[in-house]
A and B are shown apart, each in its own frame.
Chain A
Amino acid sequence: MKDQHLVTIEVNGREHELLLDARRTLADTLREDLGLTGTHLGCEHGICGACTVLLDDQPVRSCLVFGVQADGHQVRTVESLADGDQLSDLQQAFSDHHGLQCGFCTPGFLMLAEAYLETEPEGGPQEVREVLSANLCRCTGYQGIVEAVTVVAADRREKAAVTQRAGDA
């Protein structure tokens, strides 16, 4: 039995038409059909978060979504964060705060944090830790990751406030 579907998925702003087996996970679709291997697989049962991507701006485990389900939807992966050579503020903060060692968990953490930061959160260290508990890292002890996200939350709030003031003026 081979159940295949022709789907259209917008990934990182580009539309792709793909013929997918029904059972192919979104993670494998991204990694193997689209060559976007930044999305990693660390457990394939929803716990580790290495496969986290944004589906219509919401963070999801791409190991628990089938590729066919993304038909007609938008997906963002770690490959979308940098602007050419320019790292995003979040990526830069991970680098500055030593938020990675082996780097295997990093794409998942970046996408989780990006989703969280886009909700314009308060971003206190406690809340940040709670949110980041969704993903696992075996190398860093988390401190650098927590610091990076906390700092970016504060920076973005600051920037938003400045823009707001500028707008008000």
Chain B
Amino acid sequence: MLRGAGRFVGDIAHPRAYYVAFVRSPVAYGRITAIDTTRARVLPGVVAVLTSADLQDPELVAVLERPNEEFVRTAMPMLAHDRVRYAGEPIAAVVAESRYVAEDAAEQVWCDIEEFAAIMSLDELGSSAAPIHPEAPDGVLVDLTMFEDEHIAETFAAASLVLEETFRSARVSASPLEARACLAEWRARDEQLVLHASTQIPHQMRTGVAQALDLAERQVRVIAPDVGGGFGLKCVVGREEVVVAAIALRLRHAARWCEDRRENLTASFHGHEQEYRVRAAFDDDGLILSLDADIRCDIGAYSVYPFSCGVEPLMAASELPGIYKVGRYAARARGFATNKPPSAPYRGVSRPQIVLVMERLMDKAARRLGIDRIEIRRRNTIQPHEFPYTGSNGITYEPGSYVEALDLCADALKKAGWWDRRECTDGRLRGIGIINFSERTAYGTSTLSMRKMPMTPGFDVSYVCMDPTGDVVVTTGTCSQGQGHETTFAQLVADRLGIRPERVKLRQGDTNLVSFGWGTWGSRSLVIGGGAATVAARRLADQIKSVAGELLEANASDIDLVDGNAQVRGVSGSQISIDEIAATVHFRSHTLKNSGEHLLEARGMADPSGMFSNASHAALVEVDPGTGDVRVVDYIVVEDCGVVVNPTIVEGQVRGGVAQGIAAALYEELAFSPDGQPLSGTFMDYLLPTASEVPSITIHHLETPCDQTETGSKGMGEGGLIGAPAAVVAAVNDALRGYGADIDCIPIHPADVLAVLQGTSAAQGSRLQETS
């Protein structure tokens, strides 16, 4: 990587591969009446121009197996035919000898589209004469009343304080720095379609491509080489990937596509566009008695394979109460189709929003009831002695350091002098936000089966093999994009085998090399993939010990593996090197008693139900009343992800996540014109924060070991992004405390801040409605 020798899909040399460019819909909604590709076809260097019909109308269907009232089944065509449902939707694919020529030709394809009025916000639902999917005339694709409580009305009637609030978060893009990319080739000798793709889920892509193109799974091999960031954008199967595969298959010629940034921002997958209408009842002591939530997610035009459009609503409703002991809970969660690109499970999936909701409720109640904001959280939080705690949402929370993390964070910010900095009088306004939350990580099949997907993800398998020289290869079905799995997996396996981590090599991301797996998402890899590898390594260690026992004439259970040797415990000098054992097993197996049965390889599997990591975040922000600008000037995270395998990697994940969370709170927003044209199609308009907008972040670790995993670790890939929006919003409200601020929508724009300062703050809600 540091030498420029990384191998991302776009870096793979393939001198003959054709380049694909997509012709995309110029309008948000309409009916295709004609496509004329003749002018494009005749350009020199153009190989083919293909429409959906040319490819036999491939499509993917991503459903939840629920009744039609709860989930409406819709299909996503790989190329639009008949209808286009968002601006940027692919209509045709141009195949040419260079990307330059492919783009020239794409400009020459002419589409006649009868335009319909686009549905761009939840307020416009049902307004169009032509519903986006005829199967769902009201636009509702998902409608889940997940929790009901007939007594909830009574608690509201009896409460000292009832808050009725609306929270919104804008549509955002994961924007990995490497956009999507793929290179497909039919290899006749292997009878296989080999698809290199920048993906988090090679095996699911294999299944999706095989399904869409009517191939056997063995006929598809998916390889994820280096992946330049994913964050959920790459844990779905994209239409372009399937189309490029179809092209390679049809033309029997390699074809490649690298998504450009405009496509990535306007025509890939989005997420996080949600609205929460919430009622919460509190008693005099600030205890939350009940919570009633109506959650609406704008999921865009299609249900995306394999997770479906149910991901955000399901997550939101099932996990909203979080670490707080909510007495009674009711929630309805819906997903609506609009004329925008479909949503994929972007990092955090609904948790940034639910944490924002709960933490705002705590701050609001604290202010209204005159209780300290840390104290009100302490009172409502699940206490250490209450674990395992089963909440009104039916979830059982295993031990975490909820109260401890909050106290440590409060203490850390005090020691860092934040309270003094907050009072500093230099014309700037400063505020502190402190929030606390837990996140479920590493969902296994027992938890995910409740979603009712036709394929239930969750487990993972790992093989660990030692070769004749004593080096080890580990395979995993997870698939990293910079999370440092090479390091952590090697460390885990090496520890179990008593060898140096340099001798362990991780293989991942190739469906031919790895039997099966569920990829990397949902903070699962280290815990599930690493867990499986640990189990396998332990089994391999047993095999080594058994051979060592025979060679050293000792009991296998008396053997320890340390520093590259197998040694008899307590008997100095009685040892043999592991390399020697490896050589013996492979080359001199006849000298062993059960010759031939000893091959040094083992398999492990892990499928935990999922465990809660927790964290407390604090943000110190500075508001410039002259411009409305908000800067995050300092940031503290106290996190507990169980036993930390590698602190550097954990901290890197936290920092990257916090940066994305700050972005969601202050900078990033995909805007559209009223007729559905994307307005954030460049990095000039879609504001990824730079090093000047992200402060340095101090991280403290707590370790509550997890008993579901071999290593005691919990997952942690998403927490940074989950906590940061809430922390920043709390801090901005605190900075504007003298002005009655009550900001509940993200991102917060400078104009929103000025509206508060000038006493015209109704502006924020309406602005978000206007632009979304």
Q: Do chains A and B touch in the complex (CB under 8 A)?
A: yes
Residues of A at the B interface (CB closer than 8 Å) are: 21, 23-24, 31, 35-45, 47-48, 50, 77-79, 81-82, 87, 91, 94-95, 98, 100-107, 110, 129-130, 132-146
Per-residue contact bits, chain B 405-425, to A (CB 8 Å; 1 contact, 0 not): 000000000000000000000
Query: Is the CB–CB distance between A142 and B176 below 8 Å?
Result: no
Q: CB within 8 A of A141: which of B228, B484, B694?
A: B694
- A-B interface, 3 closest residue pairs, ranked by CB to CB distance from nearest: A38-B4, A102-B482, A104-B228
Query: Is the CB–CB distance between B3 and A81 below 8 Å?
Result: yes
- Given known contacts A100-B2, A106-B1, A142-B691, A45 and B483 CB-to-CB distance under 8 angstroms: no
- Given known contacts A138-B688, A143-B697, A101 and B177 CB-to-CB distance under 8 angstroms: no
- Given known contacts A103-B226, A129-B692, A138 and B176 CB-to-CB distance under 8 angstroms: yes
Query: Is the CB–CB distance between A137 and B177 below 8 Å?
Result: yes
Contacts of A102 in B (CB 8 A): 176-178, 226-229, 481-482
Q: CB within 8 A of B697: which of A24, A100, A141?
A: A141
Residue from B177, B228, B654, B655 having most chain A Cβ neighbours under 10 A: B177
**CA gap between A50 and B176 in the complex, in Å:** 12
- Given known contacts A41-B10, A95-B2, A101-B484, A138 and B229 CB-to-CB distance under 8 angstroms: yes
Query: Is the CB–CB distance between B6 and A101 below 8 Å?
Result: no
- Given known contacts A45-B261, A101-B482, A138 and B231 CB-to-CB distance under 8 angstroms: yes
Contacts of A37 in B (CB 8 A): 4, 6-8, 10-11, 13
CB pairs A–B below 8 angstroms (25 shown): A23-B100, A35-B13, A37-B7, A37-B13, A41-B10, A41-B258, A42-B177, A44-B260, A47-B682, A78-B3, A91-B3, A100-B1, A100-B2, A102-B177, A102-B482, A104-B176, A133-B691, A133-B692, A135-B690, A138-B229, A138-B656, A138-B688, A140-B655, A141-B655, A142-B655
**CA gap between A132 and B690 in the complex, in Å:** 8
- Given known contacts A91-B3, A138-B231, A101 and B483 CB-to-CB distance under 8 angstroms: yes
Q: CB within 8 A of B8: which of A48, A104, A135, A141?
A: A104
**CA gap between A98 and B651 in the complex, in Å:** 9
**Besides the known contacts A79-B3, A139-B177, A141-B659, 5 further A-B residue pairs in the complex with CB atoms under 8 A apart:** A37-B4, A79-B5, A100-B2, A141-B652, A142-B655
Contacts of B481 in A (CB 8 A): 101-102
Contacts of B177 in A (CB 8 A): 40, 42, 48, 50, 102, 104-105, 136-139
Chain B minimum-CB-distance residue to A137: B177
Closest beta carbon of chain B to A164's beta carbon, Å: 29
Closest beta carbon of chain B to A45's beta carbon, Å: 6
Contacts of A94 in B (CB 8 A): 2
Contacts of A23 in B (CB 8 A): 100
Query: Is the CB–CB distance between A39 and B4 below 8 Å?
Result: yes
Chain A minimum-CB-distance residue to B3: A82
Chain B minimum-CB-distance residue to A126: B692
Contacts of B179 in A (CB 8 A): 42
Chain B minimum-CB-distance residue to A21: B100
Chain B minimum-CB-distance residue to A81: B3
Query: Is the CB–CB distance between B261 and A44 below 8 Å?
Result: yes
Instruction: Give chain B interface residues in 468-493, CB to chain A under 8 Å.
Output: 481-484
The verdict on B658 contacting chain A, using a C-beta distance below 8 Å, is yes
Query: Is the CB–CB distance between A103 and B11 below 8 Å?
Result: no
Closest beta carbon of chain A to B585's beta carbon, Å: 33
**CA gap between A21 and B229 in the complex, in Å:** 32
Q: Chain A at the B interface: mostly helix, strand, loop or mixed?
A: loop
**CA gap between A98 and B11 in the complex, in Å:** 23
**CA gap between A39 and B4 in the complex, in Å:** 7
Contacts of B229 in A (CB 8 A): 101-102, 104, 138-139
**CA gap between A133 and B691 in the complex, in Å:** 5
Residues of B at the A interface (CB closer than 8 Å) are: 1-8, 10-11, 13, 100, 175-179, 226-229, 231, 258, 260-261, 481-484, 648-649, 651-652, 654-660, 682-684, 688, 690-692, 694, 696-697, 720
Closest beta carbon of chain A to B36's beta carbon, Å: 23
**CA gap between A132 and B694 in the complex, in Å:** 12
Contacts of A21 in B (CB 8 A): 100
Closest beta carbon of chain B to A165's beta carbon, Å: 31
Contacts of B176 in A (CB 8 A): 102, 104, 138
**CA gap between A146 and B656 in the complex, in Å:** 14
Contacts of A31 in B (CB 8 A): 10-11
Q: CB within 8 A of B683: which of A82, A98, A136, A146?
A: A136
Contacts of B659 in A (CB 8 A): 140-142
Query: Is the CB–CB distance between B4 and A139 below 8 Å?
Result: no
Contacts of B696 in A (CB 8 A): 143, 146
**CA gap between A130 and B100 in the complex, in Å:** 35
Contacts of B649 in A (CB 8 A): 98
**CA gap between A152 and B318 in the complex, in Å:** 48
Contacts of B11 in A (CB 8 A): 31, 37
- Given known contacts A45-B261, A138-B229, A141-B659, A132 and B482 CB-to-CB distance under 8 angstroms: no
**CA gap between A50 and B659 in the complex, in Å:** 18
Contacts of A40 in B (CB 8 A): 8, 10, 177-178, 228
Closest beta carbon of chain A to B489's beta carbon, Å: 16
Chain A minimum-CB-distance residue to B480: A102
Contacts of A47 in B (CB 8 A): 682-684
Query: Is the CB–CB distance between B228 and A103 below 8 Å?
Result: yes
Query: Is the CB–CB distance between A45 and B100 below 8 Å?
Result: no
**CA gap between A81 and B5 in the complex, in Å:** 12
Contacts of B657 in A (CB 8 A): 141
Query: Is the CB–CB distance between A138 and B175 below 8 Å?
Result: yes
Contacts of A81 in B (CB 8 A): 2-3
Contacts of B655 in A (CB 8 A): 140-144
**CA gap between A106 and B177 in the complex, in Å:** 11
Closest beta carbon of chain A to B229's beta carbon, Å: 5
Contacts of B261 in A (CB 8 A): 42-45, 48
Contacts of B1 in A (CB 8 A): 100, 103, 106
Query: Is the CB–CB distance between A98 and B652 below 8 Å?
Result: yes
Closest beta carbon of chain B to A59's beta carbon, Å: 15
**CA gap between A144 and B649 in the complex, in Å:** 11
Query: Is the CB–CB distance between A100 and B482 below 8 Å?
Result: yes
**CA gap between A101 and B175 in the complex, in Å:** 15
Chain A minimum-CB-distance residue to B179: A42
Closest beta carbon of chain A to B682's beta carbon, Å: 6
- Given known contacts A110-B2, A129-B691, A130-B692, A45 and B226 CB-to-CB distance under 8 angstroms: no
Residue from B10, B649, B720 having most chain A Cβ neighbours under 10 A: B10
**CA gap between A145 and B692 in the complex, in Å:** 12
**CA gap between A137 and B660 in the complex, in Å:** 10
Q: CB within 8 A of A79: which of B4, B175, B482, B683?
A: B4
**CA gap between A139 and B227 in the complex, in Å:** 12
**CA gap between A31 and B229 in the complex, in Å:** 20
Query: Is the CB–CB distance between B684 and A45 below 8 Å?
Result: yes
